[in-house]
Amino acid sequence: MEDTSREETVKAIARGLGFDDCRIAVAKEATHAEAFREWIGEGLHGDMAWMEKTPHRRCDPREVLPGCKSVICLALNYYPGRSSGAQGYRIARYAWNEDYHDLILAKLKAFDVELAKLGGTQRYYVDTGPVLERDFATDAGLGWNGKSTLQIHRRLGTWFFLAELLTTLDLTADSPFGDHCGKCTRCITACPTGAITAPHRVDARRCVSYLTIEHKEAIPEEFRIAMGDRIYGCDDCLDACPWNKFAEVSREARFHARESVFSHRLRDFLTLDDESFRALFAKSPIKRIKRPRFLRNVCVALGNTGTAEELPALETAANDSDPLISEHAIWAIQRVKTRLLEKA
């Protein structure tokens, strides 16, 4: 009886802090720890070297928090709606406005204070911690890991962030919800670069999200055309998922499209210097990749979609002192010119 009321208290705290769902998993070795080790072993994480560090910790919360008994798994809906208002380019929806890390960490901090009052010691994370977040969310029945590897929630679809508190509180775990992908394979078909190489397996090195955000060097030529008009992240496997049909727009206005960004035409981004880049993307996750990587992505998209009107802006970018920008601008100019010749 006492345990039941503690779980209810935990879920009430989550609701009070604005989380859309909260479920509990047992703290143990992750169910798919072996799949994770294989994934790393095959180098599918590309140059995200931080993922190789301390795999024993990432696969078992008890290695992160001694005495950890439960993992409190949380979902926060970020769906900002269908259209950003952008003309001719796409940014992944999670990055349409403010960075979720700070926003969610503030909620987790308040959560921790409440759990300490119940006698718990916690570690809390969103995204960047050594936790296989989706594995524990599946165990807790928050949702299930779809073939795209995205965690799907029966009501929110795929448009939500995960966060969790590892706690020494011994809470009764919730039951898994089960896999509801059925025969569907839409995400695999929709992926522009063939990054979902098998159900439940993403080769990060092929994923547009990795190439445009995590990858620091030149974008391999084999993926540039497939990137199309995507300049930061990719939502194609999310857009394709039928479980998103009933997604509701997030209550959090700080996730809704930032007008000052999306009023830019694609070529306007090439005029940003370091200072105006930082100002435009203040508090946005895009700020993290800094101007050279962002302009690199813009050049590729302009190469794929641009017309003669874009050539002057690309010529200026081709003279940029940053080689990452100039190399991609030169590639884009060639591609636009080839297209113009083909049309002539």
Q: Which residues bind ligand SF4 (CB under 6 A)?
A: 146-148, 152, 181, 184-187, 190-193, 195-196, 202, 207-209, 234, 236-237, 240-243
Closest approach of ligand B12 to the CB of residue 145, in Å: 4
127 catalytic residue (yes or no)? yes
From the list ligand B12, ligand SF4, none, partner contacted by residue 32 (C-beta under 5 to 8 A by kind):
ligand B12
Closest approach of ligand B12 to the CB of residue 150, in Å: 4
What gap in Å lies between CA 121 and CA 166, rounded to an integer? 8
From the list ligand SF4, ligand B12, none, partner contacted by residue 156 (C-beta under 5 to 8 A by kind):
none
Q: Which is nearer to ligand B12, 25 or 318 (CB)?
A: 25
**Burial class (CB within 10 angstroms; exposed 0-12, middle 13-18, buried 19+) of 10:** buried
**C-alpha closest to that of 68 among 121, 14, 115:** 121
From the list ligand B12, ligand SF4, none, partner contacted by residue 39 (C-beta under 5 to 8 A by kind):
ligand B12
**Residue of 3, 127, 268, 274 marked catalytic:** 127
Residue recorded with tokens 């992926």:
191
Q: Which is nearer to ligand B12, 132 or 169 (CB)?
A: 132
Closest approach of ligand B12 to the CB of residue 259, in Å: 21
What gap in Å lies between CA 101 and CA 94, rounded to an integer? 11
Give the residues across from 73 on adjacent strands: 23, 164
Q: Which is nearer to ligand SF4, 92 or 317 (CB)?
A: 92
Q: Binding residues for ligand B12, per CB under 6 A?
A: 30, 32, 35-36, 39, 48, 92, 94, 126-127, 131-135, 138, 145, 148-151, 158, 160-162, 179, 200, 202, 204, 207, 209-210, 214, 233-235, 237-238
The number of beta carbons lying within 10 Å of the beta carbon of residue 129 is 16
From the list ligand SF4, ligand B12, none, partner contacted by residue 147 (C-beta under 5 to 8 A by kind):
ligand SF4
**C-alpha closest to that of 235 among 190, 204, 203:** 190
**Which residues, at least 6 apart from 344, have a Cβ–Cβ distance to it below 8 Å?**
none
Q: Which is nearer to ligand B12, 214 or 310 (CB)?
A: 214
**Burial class (CB within 10 angstroms; exposed 0-12, middle 13-18, buried 19+) of 114:** middle
What gap in Å lies between CA 8 and CA 12, rounded to an integer? 6
Closest approach of ligand B12 to the CB of residue 196, in Å: 7
Q: Which is nearer to ligand B12, 44 or 317 (CB)?
A: 44
Q: Which two tokens stand for residue 185?
A: 């394979």
Whether the CB-CB separation of 278 and 187 falls below 8 Å is answered with no
Closest approach of ligand B12 to the CB of residue 121, in Å: 21
Written as one letter, the residue type at 215 is H
From the list ligand SF4, ligand B12, none, partner contacted by residue 23 (C-beta under 5 to 8 A by kind):
none
Active site residues: 127
